Homo-oligomer: A and B are copies of this chain.
Amino acid sequence: MLTVGIIGVTGYAGSELFRILSRHPKVGELVVSSISHSGKLLSSVYPNFIGGPKVKLENSTSVVAASDVVFAALPHGEGDDIAPTCVMIGVPYIDLSADFRFGKDQETYSAWYDSEWYSDMHRKSIYGLPEMNRQKIQAAAKNFRENHEELDDENGVVIGNPGCYPTGAALAAFPALSRGVYGGGTIIVDSVSGITGGGRKPARAFHFPECYDSMTPYKVASHRHTPEISRVFSLMEGIPPSSPRPLIFTPHLAPMNRGILSTVYIPLSAEWRCGPPKPSAPRPPSDAVIEKTARIHELYRDFYRNERFVRVLPQGILPSTGRVRSSNFCDISVHIDHNGLNLIAISAIDNMVKGAAGQAVQNMNIIFGYKESTGLDALPAMF
């Protein structure tokens, strides 16, 4: 049984980690820390956890020392020195901030984030999207286990857990990008998030009366997840992230708690285009569009057939964030516009689970060689 550490457990992502790990059959003990509430019981900050495992909020040093694996759910920049410690003492480190999502690309990271850059750590970090990097994570973990005794720079396990928006966007686009469905041109990711994505700290933008019964975009053309999405799209397509395709990412807030719905517009390659013979006012989907859509649907199902957490929905059923609530699932549907020019791939995830804590636990399962769904097999509640 593992002793698992959560640093920053009182943030929303941290509290979800606790909720999930408290039922994980391979987890024996949870040690947790919080800067702001150190010394208190976790259940005094989160009374919903009364009756669960009784844990005290410690400091990060004690957590690292006691743990077989460490999750850090801190704002970017605040956990950077913990990673080297974990590597040094041979503890796998799973980071939920943006710090380890950019591989060796310091330049891009520094253009968007203002924190220090730990070259060694970043060099060995793996982007923790299991559907893309499962084998890399397994290899790093294997190497780590086999060389556990001789710790050095080469055998640490540092996972940069993906951002919430990038997870939904990447899973929607992956088959199209890697199988020649995408034909170049601007890809647009139009996403809507629930308000837990803004975190636990009260602020005007997340004040109930200002959010309720209202939709709003934010950070249009300037959100920090843009370079992360661009990078993972490039890697999925197999082109250098330094010379990526044009991309637009527009995040919005909806008056709900959990979930991200991403509608991704992907220009089709010549092979997949199925436009009408001549221009006309829009018509309901043509036979050509319907037929190609069915083929892309088939391609997506095939692509993800072994993925436990990606559900390519039957045609006619559309993703909704409600149907993945509190689960690690990512639901996907595919469509082609009436002109036959673009794929519209739509995904729904729970931003706190597949978009954060659940995916982090999935990464832990891979590292330790457990079945990937261990502790993550609860069905979505729907409401």
| CA distance in complex: A263, B383 (Å) | 24
When the two chains form the complex, which single residue of B16, B188, B336 contacts A265, counting CB atoms closer than 8 Å? B188
Q: Let me know if A259 is at the binding interface, CB within 8 A.
A: yes
Residues of B within 8 A of A282 (CB): 108, 226-227, 230, 244, 247
| CA distance in complex: A226, B335 (Å) | 15
Considering the complex, give the chain B residue whose CB is closest to the CB of A250. Answer: B263
- Cβ–Cβ contact B379 & A22, under 8 A: yes
Residues of B within 8 A of A248 (CB): 265, 337, 339, 342, 344
- Cβ–Cβ contact A335 & B381, under 8 A: no
Interface centre among A195, A204, A259, A282 (most CB of B within 10 A): A282
- Assembly stoichiometry (copies): 4
Residues of B within 8 A of A22 (CB): 379
Q: Let me know if A2 is at the binding interface, CB within 8 A.
A: no
- Cβ–Cβ contact B382 & A241, under 8 A: no
Q: Let me know if A306 is at the binding interface, CB within 8 A.
A: no
When the two chains form the complex, which single residue of B46, B256, B280, B326 contacts A255, counting CB atoms closer than 8 Å? B256
Q: Mask for A104-118, Cβ within 8 A of B = 1, else 0?
A: 010110011000000
Q: Let me know if A47 is at the binding interface, CB within 8 A.
A: yes
Residues of B within 8 A of A359 (CB): none
- Cβ–Cβ contact B23 & A321, under 8 A: no
| CA distance in complex: A329, B283 (Å) | 31
Q: Which of A32-40, A78-86, A212-220 contacts B (4 or more CB under 8 A)?
A: A212-220
- Cβ–Cβ contact B209 & A319, under 8 A: no
User: What's the nearest-Cβ distance from chain B to residue A352, in Å?
Assistant: 8
Q: Let me know if A288 is at the binding interface, CB within 8 A.
A: no
Residues of B within 8 A of A200 (CB): 207, 209
| CA distance in complex: A379, B282 (Å) | 37
- Cβ–Cβ contact B208 & A319, under 8 A: no
- Cβ–Cβ contact A382 & B105, under 8 A: no
| CA distance in complex: A261, B218 (Å) | 12
| CA distance in complex: A308, B52 (Å) | 10
Please classify how large the interface on chain A is, using the bins under 10, 10 to 19, 20 to 34, 35 or more.
Answer: 35 or more
Q: Let me know if A139 is at the binding interface, CB within 8 A.
A: no
- Cβ–Cβ contact A243 & B279, under 8 A: yes
Interface centre among A218, A254, A259, A333 (most CB of B within 10 A): A254
- Cβ–Cβ contact A19 & B336, under 8 A: no
- Cβ–Cβ contact A283 & B51, under 8 A: no
Q: Let me know if A28 is at the binding interface, CB within 8 A.
A: no
- Cβ–Cβ contact B281 & A108, under 8 A: yes
- Cβ–Cβ contact A213 & B258, under 8 A: yes
Q: Let me know if A346 is at the binding interface, CB within 8 A.
A: yes
Q: Can you list 8 A-B contacts with CB-CB less than 8 angstroms, sorted by A residue number?
A: A44-B314, A46-B382, A212-B257, A212-B383, A244-B282, A246-B339, A248-B342, A255-B255
Q: A22-B379, A217-B333 are in contact. List 12 more A-B contacts (CB 8 A).
A: A47-B314, A51-B329, A108-B282, A190-B250, A200-B207, A213-B322, A214-B259, A216-B318, A221-B338, A231-B281, A265-B265, A326-B381
Give A residues with C-beta under 8 Å from B.
Answer: 12, 15-16, 18-19, 22-23, 44, 46-52, 105, 107-108, 111-112, 186, 188, 190, 192, 194-196, 198, 200, 202-204, 206-218, 220-222, 226-227, 230-231, 241-244, 246-248, 250, 252, 254-259, 261, 263, 265, 267, 279-285, 289, 308, 311, 313-314, 317-326, 329, 331, 333, 335-339, 341-342, 344, 346, 348, 377-383
